[in-house]
Amino acid sequence: MFVESNIEMTKKALITGVTGQDGSYLAEFLLSKGYEVHGIKRRASSFNTDRIDHIYEDPHINDQRFILHYGDLSDSSNLTRIINQIQPDEVYNLAAQSHVAVSFESPEYTADVDALGTLRLLEAIRFLGLEKKTRFYQASTSELYGLVQEVPQKETTPFYPRSPYAVAKLYAYWITVNYREAYGMYACNGILFNHESPRRGETFVTRKITRALSNIAQGLEQCLYLGNMDALRDWGHAKDYVEMQWLMLQQETPEDFVIATGVQYSVRQFVELTAKNLGITLRWEGKGVDECGYVESITGDKSHALTIGQKIVAVDPRYFRPAEVETLLGDPTRAKEKLGWTPSTSLEEMVSEMVDNDLVSAQRHALLKQHGFDVKVSRE
C-alpha cells in the first residue's frame, strides 16, 4: 500500500502468466503485501489453474483482491482493454512459451508470444498514456547468454542466444530497454537464471527428474530417459526469485539485474541428489548415449519397489537439442549490493522439497494401483 494525500491507496498489479510457476508465487507474494492482484489466464479446454486454486477468490464476494481475466499475449486488443480497465501500478510480464526445446518445434509461435507479446504490452501502456504511472517488469533469462562469452555471466556479459526461445527473449529484453530510454518508462529486465520448485512444469529437467524417480521408487515407472546430462545450470528456488522481481520495481530508477545463486551443478548431479533423497545410491556405466544409472544400494523405505542392480536412468537422444546451452553460471553481485539479494534456499533443500512433493503424489497413485484402480501417469 502507499499513501497519497492522506488516502491509503491499494496498489494494483497485473501478472501475465499467473497460472505458471512464477506467476503463482508472485501472486501469493503480492497479495501478502496488500496488493490488488490481477492475472491473465489463457482459455484452455480444461482447467489450467492448479497452481493458483488455493488463492482463488469467488468473483461473487465483495472486496475481491485476486482477479483473473481471460487473455493472450498474441492479442493486442485484449491486452489493451485489460490494462485500460485495471490501470495497474505494476505489470509483471511472466507469460511466455517458456520451453527451450519446444521453441525449436514452434519457433514462430514462440517469437509471437515471447517477443511481440512484450511489445504489445509496452505499446498498450504507452497508447493508454500510462507510461509515467505503470512500472513494467520483463522476465528475461540467462538463456540470453547461450554460448557463453564470459564466466560467470553478469549484466554486462554479451548475449549469444542459442534457441528460438532465447532469440525471442533477446527482442523482449531490448524492447524493454528501448521503451525505458525512448519514453522514460520505468521498465526493467530481471535476467533470471534457472529457478525451480515443486510447482515447476513437469517437462523441465529438474521436475522431470524428481517426479520420474519418485514414480520409479514406487513402481509406477521403469526408467527415466534424459538428454544431455553434462549440461551445467545455476539453479535457485522460484519463491526466492519472485521477491526480487518485485524489488526491481521498487527502486528509485529502473535497472536490469542478474538473479542467480552463483553455484553450478550438472544435470547428472541433480539426478544423484534426487536419488539420494529417495535413499538410492546410483552407479553410472557407459558413456554418451550409452550412459545408464543403476541402483547400487537402497536405504530407508522410500524406494521399496526397487531392486539392487535395476537400471533406472538412461539417455534418449530425442531429448538432445539442435543447439545446446552447455553451461550457465550467474554473478549476482549487483543484485546483492543494490537489492540486498541473498538466495535463502540451497539446492539440497530445494531438491528435498521437490522430492517430498512428488513422492506423496507417487505414493497416492501406488496405493490406488494396489487397490486395483487403473492408474495412468502422464509423461512426455
- Give residues in contact with ligand GDR (CB under 6 A): 98, 100-101, 141-143, 193-194, 203-205, 208, 226-228, 231, 233, 267, 319, 321, 324-325
The string of DSSP letters for 296-316 reads EEE-SSTTTT--TT-EEEEE-
12, 20, 214, 244: which one binds ligand NDP (CB under 6 A): 20
Provide φ and ψ at 306, rounded to 5°: -100, 160
141, 218, 261, 264: which one binds ligand NDP (CB under 6 A): 141
Binding mask 58-97 toward ligand NDP (x if CB under 6 A, else -) reads --------------xxx-------------------xxxx
Q: Can 265 be counted among the known catalytic residues?
A: no
22, 240, 256, 331: which one binds ligand NDP (CB under 6 A): 22
What is the 8-class DSSP label of residue 249?
Answer: T
The string of DSSP letters for 172-193 reads HHHHHHHHHHHH---EEEEEEP
Specify whether the CB–CB gap between 1 and 8 falls below 8 A: yes
Q: Are strands 66-70 and 36-41 parallel, antiparallel or unpaired?
A: parallel
The entry of ligand GDR, ligand NDP, none that residue 205 binds, CB within 5 to 8 Å by partner kind: ligand GDR
Task: Tell me how far CA of residue 190 lies from CA of 37, 52, 66, 117, in angstroms.
Answer: 20, 23, 24, 17
The CB-of-375 to ligand GDR minimum distance in angstroms stands at 23
3-state secondary structure (DSSP) of residue 41 = strand
- Check binding of 342 to ligand NDP (CB under 6 A): no
Q: Can 294 be counted among the known catalytic residues?
A: no
Specify whether the CB–CB gap between 191 and 144 falls below 8 A: yes
Calpha distance 53→31 (Å, rounded): 14
Nearer to ligand NDP by Cβ, of 141 and 218: the residue is 141
The entry of ligand NDP, ligand GDR, none that residue 271 binds, CB within 5 to 8 Å by partner kind: none
Nearer to ligand NDP by Cβ, of 115 and 306: the residue is 115
What is the 8-class DSSP label of residue 282?
Answer: E
Calpha distance 302→265 (Å, rounded): 25
- Catalytic-labelled residue, pool 16, 19, 110, 141: 141
- Catalytic-labelled residue, pool 137, 165, 179, 241: 165
Q: Give the cell for residue 199.
A: 510447482
Nearer to ligand NDP by Cβ, of 243 and 291: the residue is 243
Provide φ and ψ at 16, rounded to 5°: -90, 145
The entry of ligand NDP, ligand GDR, none that residue 189 binds, CB within 5 to 8 Å by partner kind: none
The entry of ligand GDR, ligand NDP, none that residue 113 binds, CB within 5 to 8 Å by partner kind: ligand NDP
Q: In what helix (H) or strand (E) does residue 70 lie, and over which residues does it extend?
A: strand 66-70
Specify whether the CB–CB gap between 168 and 160 falls below 8 A: no
Binding mask 185-204 toward ligand NDP (x if CB under 6 A, else -) reads -------x-xx-----x---
Residues in the interface with ligand NDP (CB under 6 A) total 26
Neighbours of 361 (CB within 10 A): 16
The CB-of-143 to ligand GDR minimum distance in angstroms stands at 4
Angle of the 347-370 helix axis to the 205-217 helix axis, nearest 10: 40
Q: Can 165 be counted among the known catalytic residues?
A: yes
- Contact residues: ligand NDP, CB under 6 A: 16-17, 19-23, 40, 42, 44, 48, 72-74, 94-98, 113, 139, 141, 192, 194-195, 201
Positions annotated as catalytic residues are 141, 143, 165
